[in-house]
Amino acid sequence: MKRAIYPGSFDPVTLGHLDIIKRSAKIVDELVVGVLNNNLKTPLFSVENRVKMLNEVVKDIPNVKVMAFEGLLVDFAKKLDAKIIVRGLRAVTDFEYELQMSQTNMVLDNEIDTIFFTTSLEYAYLSSSTVKEAAYYGADISRFVPESVIPQVFEKLKEKEKKNE
Ligand code: PNS
């Protein structure tokens, strides 16, 4: 059983993430999308929300599972008996961070390898942060995130603004 983990914050999941999920799911038996429950970052969406949004968008891909994780990625991988980490590379600006992360993970556990998918051209510019910023200023985000995610982003931003009033 070849199991891989595609880890990330997914705050929220974008069409770029979905593209990597679909492509990587084709080359493994099972792909676990690992959603980081991170105390160091303050996400817009709770981890439960992010898992729920992801479950909606992957529901038609049979070998993809979505799970939240805390702590070290290599520990999560070990627990699931996954030897492959999947990450997407958009541009050269991603490279240094990704290289550092994959090498750190390799030192922490040398049985785990990271494989990189270069992002499809149409999503090369996309990031969860720019999606949130564009939505905050009222932009149409339908080319950035899956359809089911659109209303949830606007709803969450509205909630956040109300709290800040
Ligand atoms: O979507 P992101 O925020 O770029 O994903 C980053 C993620 C979740 C892959 C990374 O922060 C991570 O693996 N965090 C878990 C903690 C960990 O294992 N750190 C050591 C490796 S640098």
Query: What is the SS3 assignment for the chain?
Result: CCEEEEEECCCCCCHHHHHHHHHHHCCCCEEEEEEECCCCCCCCCCHHHHHHHHHHHHCCCCCEEEEEECCCHHHHHHHHCCCEEEEEECCHHHHHHHHHHHHHHHHHCCCCEEEEEECCHHHCCCCHHHHHHHHHCCCCCCCCCCHHHHHHHHHHHHHHHHHHC
**Is-catalytic flag, 65?**
no
Q: Quick one: tokens of 54?
A: 């992801």
* 99 C-beta closer than 6 A to ligand 1: no
Q: What is the pLDDT of residue 41?
A: 77
Statement: residue 158 has pLDDT above 80 = yes
Average pLDDT estimate for 89-95: 92
Question: Which mutation among 101, 113, 131 tests ligand 1's pocket best, with the greatest number of atoms within 8 A of CB?
Answer: 101
Q: Is 41 a catalytic residue?
A: yes
Pocket flag, ligand 1, residue 28 (CB < 6 Å):
no
Q: How many C-beta atoms surround the C-beta of residue 123 within 10 A?
A: 19
* CA of 9, closest atom in ligand 1: 1
Taking the C-alpha atoms of residue 97 and residue 85, their distance in angstroms, rounded to an integer, is 15
- Please determine, for residue 117, whether its predicted confidence score (pLDDT) is greater than 90: yes
Decide if pLDDT at 165 tops 90. Answer: no
The pLDDT, as a whole number, for residue 71 is: 95
| pLDDT (mean) for 10-19 | 97
Tell me: pLDDT of 72 over 90: yes
- Alpha-carbon 94 to chain mean position: 14
